[in-house]
Amino acid sequence: MKPVISELTTNAYAKINLSLDILGTRPDGYHEVCMIMQSLVLHDTLTLRITDGSGISMTCSDTSLPADETNLAYRAADLFCKTYTIADGISIHLEKVIPVAAGLAGGSSDAAAVLRGLNTMYGSPATPEELAALGVTLGADIPYCLMLGTVLSEGIGEKLTPLPPAPDFYCLLVKPSAGASTKQIYTEYDSLVQTESIPHPDTEALLSALKKRNRKALVSGLCNVLEPVTVKLVPEIDTIKNTLRTFGAEGVLMSGSGPTVFALFSDVAKSKRAEAHMRETGYASGTFFTSFYRPAK
């Protein structure tokens, strides 16, 4: 297969969970989920090039990240090339902005951007459905990261339903200095849910809020079943949430398995004051000011 474009630069957008519910565990060990996902303007940037020779090479602006076959972006390129019998050399450069291990799907989004980019460079041999089917073999969030926007995600994350766009908010992300592994959090959840009552999101109420563009109902319905688990491991999450509320955040929630907390504001001045304060405290390893991303139709 011959390329139609020799070089392409594309963005990989972060995501947050407006809700995250776990419905149970499947026989294969995966968790059955029901989530409302929202993409953000915050993004990594990937540059893909066709090179002489063969094989995949990768560089990354964040030298703490691997740039080999353990990186999801590299693995996505390898999978695409093997699936569509591509013999060209492919180079990937990743400009990393989305914080790592933060519950923002940075790695999944990078992989999705590579799949989407290579598909464009080679004349779109894969349909959107085929690209998503490839992606889910690498990570459950990748099909969503290919679609973007406001989306209901079910199954293990591969069953996607586009939703009415969420109302506009300024979004402040605060990542605590401490963290915990996703595997550990899900294991702890499975144990905790046996002995404690964990609040679950009212997904139907949130879907109604989106349909009616009801800002108040949307922010009051934010809920993540993994948050109580991660808070036990990273108690700073609660401190960050409470502090953000004192600065006028209308809704605050941990994204994904954490530990990043997002705060939604209608008032940009309040969000900027909150960001400045969080930077001065010792609770956060990073703060990121962004907003909701709306993909082009």
| Predicted local confidence at residue 193, as pLDDT | 85
Rounded (10°) CA dihedral 103, 189, 26, 106:
10
| Residue the block writes with tokens 């290579």 | 118
Residues 137, 155: Cα–Cα separation, whole Å: 14
Residue 31 pLDDT: 87
Looking at residue 68, what DSSP letter applies? S
- Structure confidence at residue 220 (pLDDT): 96
Cα–Cα distance, 254 to 275 (Å, whole number):
16
| 144: phi then psi, degrees, rounded to nearest 5 | -65, -45
CA distances from 186 to 25, 50, 180 (A): 10, 39, 11
Q: What is the number of helices (H) and of strands (E) in the chain?
A: 10, 11
The residue type found at 169 is F
The question of whether 82 is a catalytic residue gets the answer no
User: Does the predicted model carry a pTM greater than 0.75?
Assistant: yes
Which pLDDT belongs to residue 50?
Answer: 97
Report pLDDT for 131: 96
Cβ 150 vs Cβ 32: under 8 Å: no
Of the residues 21, 110, 141, 270, only one is catalytic, namely 141
Active site annotation includes 15:
yes
Low-confidence spans in the chain with pLDDT less than 50: none
For residues 109 and 295, is the Cβ–Cβ distance under 8 A? no
